[in-house]
Chains A and B, each alone.
Chain A
């Protein structure tokens, strides 16, 4: 084997190795930025410091489907649940999707159900009631993005 080929093979291998590393980092990077964007929304409570990245969510409010359920206040503040097609049950019962430890919440308090891309909140016979923004929820009510659902001391929001 000529010396030249060996040298090319040797350095070529090292370069390929690093290209692989950077490809891996590239795949992760997309993932990381997705995490950072939604995290910054979570980290800033409503009205506090959330003004900076406001441009995007405002635009996204129109027509964009909800992707996440975020707890904005209460013991679980900061919890995110990625939404699929399955209904989300909320309550103190251990088998709820979102188990909230809130003294004012019932064991089975409320649930969120998707219908044709729109999420509906529904109270399932709680003691203290479920509120969408200021109004009490009596039947299945569509939930717009970014409007707080209040259960006891806990607030939840849908986010794109």
Chain B
């Protein structure tokens, strides 16, 4: 919350936030951690080259150095626009992102060497592309931090954002399959060699819309409710818009055959409702609905087939991956089994960066990047990455607890939960805990849309954590004697409201 007293007419007039002496910004801690993370990325690159090529080339440090410059740029932007933002989010995410770039470059090197080609350049192949995507993502994140000086401004555009979210989700469903379909899932816009996945961006828009709407209607939702079966149900007209938006996106996703994202939106919606109304009954309803729906779909798939057959197949693959019939079938458990074997080969400490054979796993650069990395850094290394993800999510949730306005609470809570759930869905899928659904691993998988959307998410979290940890600025009305009286700022959800003290 840099300056809540932004006049509605000129949001650009928010000046740089004055640093209060004596309050810790911890920006230097962030810088130190960032340097450490980049050293790790360079070390990873060197180890990969040592074991893959047999020597450490003189340019092994270039990708790490380029990434350092990029992250340093973001760090400087944060220093000036969000000085009180959480110090560990950027370094943790930067390390994951950097290791992702390193692993993709490792795949490039492996591919080139197996075809007896020279070692590819730094900007070649998927590793180079990921580097470029990182640059674009960080620019987007910096722009978001520069433009959105106060996260409450976002609530003014909530309905626009909700509509944008829906449109983004729907675009691929409407487009012809030749443009939008990749591997059986219709969620892309492909223009030549360039493709984006609009659904990734929709989640940020939808979180903002849900948060805004629920903050406005929070009291009505929890007070004017009917009691049924011991659970309070809000009136339909209060919940209408949210349910509409959510059902629409869910239906579209099912139609696009992207169950993972559908699950993501479902969970996001339930949790936002739970946080807004403080009723655990929402979680129970949500889980019951989810498991009930899944079971019904499974039974229907077994008996009726048709649109549910795809789902039934996936469940079969999950239940019996090592079954010969499942393994041999096209689109069967081959990928899952290869991933599991890959993780198993890695064991506790892995074969060492660059010493595995990740190409046995199909799509190792996308959905199965965790399996590929797991083979090389082992359980020991993977759990470190998981702890880093966990810490990022924890910092987001803590910002949600500490920030003083309800809208910020819901947005931060929703965004960090989405991030956590996405990691759970893809990792659970790879390890066979839950049926596999296509999801990108945030910050790690190759692909621009996911990287951009998740960095935007991080920028939003940084903005909110800045508000949560920074000092309170003065209210607009009665300070500054003599000045013209400012119009009361529209603060959607009074800024000191506490959802649960």
Q: What 1/0 flags go to A81-99 for Cβ under 8 Å of B?
A: 1111111110001111111
Q: Is the CB of B391 within 8 A of A81?
A: no
The answer to the question of B211 belonging to the interface, with a C-beta cut-off of 8 Å to chain A, is no
Instruction: Give A85 to B469 CA distance when docked, in angstroms.
Output: 15
Q: Is the CB of A84 within 8 A of B472?
A: yes
Q: Is the CB of A82 within 8 A of B92?
A: no
Instruction: Give A87 to B471 CA distance when docked, in angstroms.
Output: 11
Q: What 1/0 flags go to A1-34 for Cβ under 8 Å of B?
A: 1000111011111101110110111011001000
Q: Is the CB of B391 within 8 A of A24?
A: yes
Q: Is the CB of A23 within 8 A of B352?
A: no
The answer to the question of A41 belonging to the interface, with a C-beta cut-off of 8 Å to chain B, is no
Task: For the complex formed, measure the closest distance between the CB of B452 and the CB atoms of chain A, giving whole angstroms.
Answer: 24
Q: Is the CB of B471 within 8 A of A6?
A: no
Residues of B within 8 A of A86 (CB): 471-474, 479
Task: For the complex formed, measure the closest distance between the CB of A13 and the CB atoms of chain B, giving whole angstroms.
Answer: 5
The answer to the question of A78 belonging to the interface, with a C-beta cut-off of 8 Å to chain B, is yes
The answer to the question of B112 belonging to the interface, with a C-beta cut-off of 8 Å to chain A, is no
Q: Is the interface of A mostly helix, strand, loop or mixed?
A: mixed
Task: For the complex formed, measure the closest distance between the CB of A59 and the CB atoms of chain B, giving whole angstroms.
Answer: 19
Instruction: Give A35 to B381 CA distance when docked, in angstroms.
Output: 30
Q: Is the CB of A95 within 8 A of B472?
A: no
The answer to the question of A124 belonging to the interface, with a C-beta cut-off of 8 Å to chain B, is yes
The answer to the question of A111 belonging to the interface, with a C-beta cut-off of 8 Å to chain B, is yes
The answer to the question of B33 belonging to the interface, with a C-beta cut-off of 8 Å to chain A, is yes
Size category of the A interface is: 35 or more
Q: What 1/0 flags go to B76-94 for Cβ under 8 Å of A?
A: 0000000000011001100
Q: Is the CB of B475 within 8 A of A97?
A: yes
Instruction: Give the residue of B51, B349, B476, B478 whose beta carbon is less than 8 angstroms from that of A11.
Output: B349
Task: For the complex formed, measure the closest distance between the CB of B312 and the CB atoms of chain A, giving whole angstroms.
Answer: 40
Q: Is the interface of B mostly helix, strand, loop or mixed?
A: loop
The answer to the question of A76 belonging to the interface, with a C-beta cut-off of 8 Å to chain B, is yes
Residues of A within 8 A of B50 (CB): 1, 5-6, 9
Highest count of chain A CB atoms <10 Å: which of B22, B87, B350, B501? B501
Interface segment, one of B41-49, B175-183, B362-370: B41-49
Q: Is the CB of A89 within 8 A of B478?
A: yes
Q: Is the CB of B44 within 8 A of A87?
A: no
Instruction: Give A81 to B387 CA distance when docked, in angstroms.
Output: 31
Question: A6-B50, A18-B384, A27-B88 known; A81 and B496 CB under 8 Å?
Answer: yes
Instruction: Give the residue of A10, A25, A99 whose beta carbon is less than 8 angstroms from that of B496.
Output: A99
Task: For the complex formed, measure the closest distance between the CB of A62 and the CB atoms of chain B, giving whole angstroms.
Answer: 18
Task: For the complex formed, measure the closest distance between the CB of B356 and the CB atoms of chain A, giving whole angstroms.
Answer: 11
Q: Is the CB of B472 within 8 A of A81?
A: yes
Q: What 1/0 flags go to B21-40 for Cβ under 8 Å of A?
A: 01100100100010011011
The answer to the question of B20 belonging to the interface, with a C-beta cut-off of 8 Å to chain A, is yes
Task: For the complex formed, measure the closest distance between the CB of B303 and the CB atoms of chain A, giving whole angstroms.
Answer: 48
Highest count of chain B CB atoms <10 Å: which of A5, A21, A88? A21
The answer to the question of A79 belonging to the interface, with a C-beta cut-off of 8 Å to chain B, is yes
Task: For the complex formed, measure the closest distance between the CB of B256 and the CB atoms of chain A, giving whole angstroms.
Answer: 37
- Beyond A97-B495, A124-B478: 8 further Cβ-contacts under 8 Å? A1-B51, A6-B50, A11-B349, A20-B36, A21-B384, A24-B92, A79-B501, A94-B488
The 8 closest A-B CB pairs, nearest first, are A78-B501, A84-B471, A10-B352, A86-B474, A89-B475, A99-B494, A97-B475, A95-B488
- A and B contact pairs by CB, cutoff 8 A, 8 listed: A5-B50, A9-B51, A10-B350, A18-B384, A27-B26, A84-B23, A88-B472, A95-B5
